[in-house]
Amino acid sequence: MDLSVVVVTYNSHDHIAGCLRSLDRARGTLEMEVLVVDNASADGTLDEVRATAPWARIVEMGDNCGYARAVNRGTRESTGEFVMALNPDSEVGVDALETLRAHLRAHPRCAIAGPRLVGADGEVELSGRSFPGPTTFLFNRYSLATRLWPGNPWSRRYLLLDWDRTTDRTVDWLSGSCLFVRRAAIADVGGMDETYFMFNEDVDWCHAMKKAGWTVDYVAGANVMHRIGSSKGRVSSRVILERHRGMVHYLRKYHPSNPLLEALAGALIMLRARLMLLGNAVRR
């Protein structure tokens, strides 16, 4: 088996058909299996999978156990030389799978390759970034500091804003919406850290791979459309809290410092979460 694609779903009815059709169009000469790992969807997602792609294998988790655990389950139940973790709100370009596989085969120390991600509106997603540090939560893509002062040096360094993402580049980490991973690297390093529920597991996985001597590469010639704006608006309180808890976990795991500084950084991150929860309540 050349490739195993693991698509994790949770109430993904509106997007899963387009995702699976794009995979079928892009398979080319690849011997490919597709596993839809479902976190207890209640919107008819699995009925849509059965109707649209009866060739896809469904793995039911039984409850909403998070993204990392579902990806790991799909990886364990698959057999491909390469594993691609793909979000259900993504559609792969016709040549994307072959291009990513060719890159990994040409670069034997590359553990993870990721495509050029473009939104439905044509905007290029800033996949491929530097590793976050203790203050990165102040300078990420959607932070107030970045919106008010987009050219500040901290945001530019973290987001790699001086690079237009039209060329291949080895980076620190790639967006988890589409990760093309060498199974041998997974065997060496392990799967995603299941402490993360949703968000930050992609940064962590890339960090673990790089610490073990592998590379993480952005491949500009592979194109994937990702509806990054499809979930704009009100976000569930659990997602907000888990995202910020993931930030704290990553900080403690990769940037240990003295207890006072660690406590201060953690408190500031969770304060940001509470402010976002307040904003979420107002939007409701």
DSSP string, 151-192: T-HHHHHHHTTT--S-S-EE-SB--TTEEEEEHHHHHHH-S-
How does the average pLDDT of the chain come out, rounded?
91
- On the question of pLDDT at 269 being above 90, the answer is no
Q: Among positive and negative, which fits the CA dihedral 103, 105, 108, 111? A: positive
Confidence of residue 78 (pLDDT cuts 50, 70, 90): very high
Three-state DSSP class for residue 170:
strand
Q: Confidence class of residue 80 from pLDDT cuts 50, 70 and 90?
A: very high
pLDDT at 146 > cutoff 90 = no
Lowest mean pLDDT: which of 52-61, 129-138, 146-155, 260-269?
A: 260-269
Q: What angle do CA 245, 201, 238 make, to 5 degrees?
A: 40
Asked if residues 259 and 126 have their Cβ atoms less than 8 Å apart, the reply is no
Q: What is the pTM of this model?
A: 0.90
- Alpha-carbon distance of 207 to 216, in angstroms, equals 9
Given a contact cutoff of 8 angstroms between Cβ atoms, the answer to whether 169 and 91 are in contact is no
CB atoms near residue 222 (< 10 Å): 26
Q: Which residues face 242 on adjacent strands? A: none
Per-residue model confidence as pLDDT tens digits over 234-261: 567 888 888 888 888 998 898 877 777 6
For 3-44, the pLDDT digits (tens) are 999 999 999 999 999 999 999 999 999 999 999 999 999 999
Q: Which residue from 69, 100, 95 is spatially nearest to 82, judged by alpha carbons? A: 100
User: What 3-state class would DSSP assign to 197?
Assistant: coil
* Residue for token pair 């990553």: 250
At 244, give phi and psi (nearest 5°): -75, -35
232 pLDDT band (50/70/90 cuts)?
A: very low
Round to whole Å and give the CA distance between 214 and 209.
5
pLDDT per residue as tens digits for the range 155-195: 899 999 999 999 999 999 999 999 999 999 999 999 999 99
Residue 228 backbone phi and psi in degrees, to 5: -65, -25
With CA atoms as reference, report the closest residue to 215 among 161, 250, 169.
Answer: 169
